[in-house]
Amino acid sequence: MKHPRLRTVLAMLLVLVAASAHAALKSGDKVPDYLGNKVDGTAIHSSQYRGKVLVVTFWATWCHYCMHELPVLANIQRLTGDRLQVVAISHDETRRTYLYVHRKLHKLGMVLAYDRVNKAAHAFGVNGIPHMVIIGPDGHIAHVHVGYDKDMLPTIASELNTLLAEVPHSGTVTREEPPRQAR
């Protein structure tokens, strides 16, 4: 390069990008506890779901692939009863957007979380969405999937079935109740 100043600026940008990149968690890592907040402000923690298979997915309304993934995950949760919990963590920019989406999606039966300051995303090493982390009943990460494609579904189903085999089947299906509306 003939322009040393431009070379210096580019080098600095590369350093900043590398420094801001989060270290992605991988199979075997312990799961960060904080997952975000519910619509009522209550904090959600991965430790609440110990003993179950936990699927944590980071998504946003502007992410086309995420919006395809959510109903699939809701159906998987419905089919597995109380042995699996999906926590969908919104990456939407504003609480207003999250509240609007929550009203539309709460019927899916999964836990919807809002992570306004990206504390959970940073702890999980999320650099793009959709970003799915499958956690075993022992509280350790079993699998990580970045992106979404229908061709991934057989692999994800196999991974979930293997983990679900470790969780006793109680025969009951429990779901989080949708929030009651004030009258």
Higher pLDDT, 103 or 55: 55
In a domain, 181, yes or no: no
In a domain, 182, yes or no: no
pLDDT (0 to 100) of residue 51: 95
How does residue 175 score in pLDDT terms, banded at 50, 70 and 90? Answer: very low
Containing structural domain, residue 158: 24-164
Is the pLDDT at 179 greater than 50? The verdict is: no
Whichever domain contains 159, its CATH number is 3.40.30.10
How does residue 3 score in pLDDT terms, banded at 50, 70 and 90? Answer: low
In a domain, 4, yes or no: no
In a domain, 2, yes or no: no
Q: How many CB atoms lie within 10 A of CB 132?
A: 23
What is the count of structural domains for the chain?
A: 1
Higher pLDDT, 40 or 106: 40
Q: Which of 95, 99, 121 is nearest to 21 (CA)?
A: 121
Is the pLDDT at 172 greater than 80? The verdict is: no
